[in-house]
Amino acid sequence: MNRNYWQPGYETMPREELRELQLARLRDTVARVYAKVPIYRERMDKAGVRPEDIRTLDDIRRLPFTVKQDLRDTYPYGMFACDMTDVVRLHASSGTTGKQIVVGYTKRDLEVWDNLIARQLVAAGVGSDDFIHVAFGYGLFTGGFGLHGGAQLVGATVIPVSTGNTARQLTIMQDFGSTAICATPSYALYLAEEAEKAGIADKLKLRVGIFGAEPWTEEMRRQIEARLHIKAFDIYGLTEVMGPGVSYECSDQKGMHVSEDHFIIEIIDPDTGEPVPDGTPGEIVFTSLTKKAFPVIRYRTRDIGTVNREPCPCGRTFARMSKPKGRTDDMLIIRGVNVFPSQIETVLINLGYPPNYQIIVDRVNSLDTFEVKVELTDDNFDDSVAALARKERTITEAMRSLLGIGPKITLVNPRSLTRSEGKAVRVIDRRKLHD
């Protein structure tokens, strides 16, 4: 097995050939959804565009956007582009902010998905001699099964632990000899914290980690690497487009390679919907090119990032997207200032605090209030009034310098904020209760 590439014929394809492949697959996908998905046919007719009008890749801009509400409005199977008898698996989002999103896969879709995950694993140096500890949730969430299939494909030994029961997870890591871990980054830090408490952090055989499903900063990456003694890699995906594996990091870690033979990436201005130049931050938009059961056209992810189409030192020719800095729907507007949780995390880690925090936004007498609860560590714990006040002032001023607004800082005892074995809950916005 080539430990650098899983599918070199595609991953290193010349850009000109790649664009030809994308166009052929785009035209096929557009024709299929026009014929089989009523909402796409109605939207395209309204926009005055037909499948035969897609003659170049730039013509993708003539196609209407798809948003999450469209998937909810057609729940459960209204956006499927194949007969349900061809669907062999269903997955769904959590539905925590509304009706859940249901997506489907044909047998061929699952084969493609496994290969996309295999690309990520091989790019991170994972192979048949590894024991992969999959701590993403199994079930309707795409994470667990997504990583599982790709891990099997590369010949690794898969340990399908799923989420929960952290003490048992650490025991399994020790006893089974886990060498790679797949999880949310916040849960990886929680595992590191518990391993340190148990005195086994240096006894684990882990050497690499694949993390995704929630935003995380470079500062958090360094913490995970230092505390778990591993190399940490980013993986990106979302249920609506495929699941994990839409893009992935190589060993150079200069952005995440988008599998452009299966997806087209666009970066748009979230307000106007117009494309922005490469390297300019904007909303990430994806079009699937090979998905048979549930293709999406120009799906607005709400994630904010950039794209770089320059060649990567690794030899891959795929465009590279940045680690998302946040989501348009996660961005908090507090007293007219845009605030992303990732900015809070960066300040705290740079000041030596763990990335365990909680942002609480409320409204009192028509004025926004902004509080950040920050955990102390055993090393910097000092409950004297003077010491706490000094720490709070330092954090407030650092955040004011970065954000232009200074929150109220509340320091709390070590390990007192609730830990999550899935996606971390960082923000509590109570303003909606006053609307």
User: What's the mean pLDDT in 366-392?
Assistant: 87
Domains parsed from the chain with CATH numbers: 1-327 (3.40.50.12780), 332-434 (3.30.300.30)
Q: In terms of Cα–Cα distance, which of 228, 158, 226, 147 is closest to 187?
A: 228
Least confident span in 32-36, 71-75, 86-90, 364-368: 364-368
Q: Indicate the helix (H) or strand (E) that contains 15.
A: helix 15-36
Q: In terms of Cα–Cα distance, which of 248, 252, 200, 250 is closest to 228?
A: 200
Cis amide leading into 76 (omega within 30): yes
**Tens digit of pLDDT for each residue in 216-243?**
889 999 999 999 999 999 999 999 999 9
Q: What per-residue string of b and e applies to 246-279 under the rule 16 or more CB within 10 Å gives b?
A: bbbbbeebebbbbbbbbbbbbbbebeeeebbeee
Using the structure block, give the residue that is written with the tokens 């190399």: 231
What pLDDT, on the 0 to 100 scale, is given for residue 293?
Answer: 98
Q: In terms of Cα–Cα distance, which of 311, 309, 236, 329 is closest to 266?
A: 309
What is the distance between the terminal CA atoms of the chain, rounded to a whole angstrom?
A: 58
β-strand 231-238 against 208-211: which pairing, if any?
Answer: parallel
Adjacency order of strands within the sheet including 307-308: 157-159, 131-134, 180-183, 208-211, 231-238, 243-249, 256-258, 320-321, 307-308
The helix/strand count (H/E) of the chain reads as 11, 21
What pLDDT, on the 0 to 100 scale, is given for residue 2?
Answer: 41
Mean pLDDT of the chain: 93
Q: Which two tokens stand for residue 52?
A: 């035969």
Q: Residue 287, SS3?
A: strand
**Cβ–Cβ under 8 Å, residues 209 and 230:** yes
Q: What is the DSSP string of 93-140?
A: ---TTSSPPEEEEEHHHHHHHHHHHHHHHHHTT--TT-EEEE-SPPSS
Residue type, 278: D
What pLDDT, on the 0 to 100 scale, is given for residue 172?
Answer: 97
**Tens digit of pLDDT for each residue in 50-67?**
999 999 999 999 999 999
Label residue 336 exposed, middle or buried (CB < 10 Å: 0-12, 13-18, 19+): exposed
What's the pTM value of the predicted model, to 2 decimals? 0.84
Residue type, 416: S
Q: Taking 80 as the threshold, does the pLDDT of residue 383 lie above it?
A: no
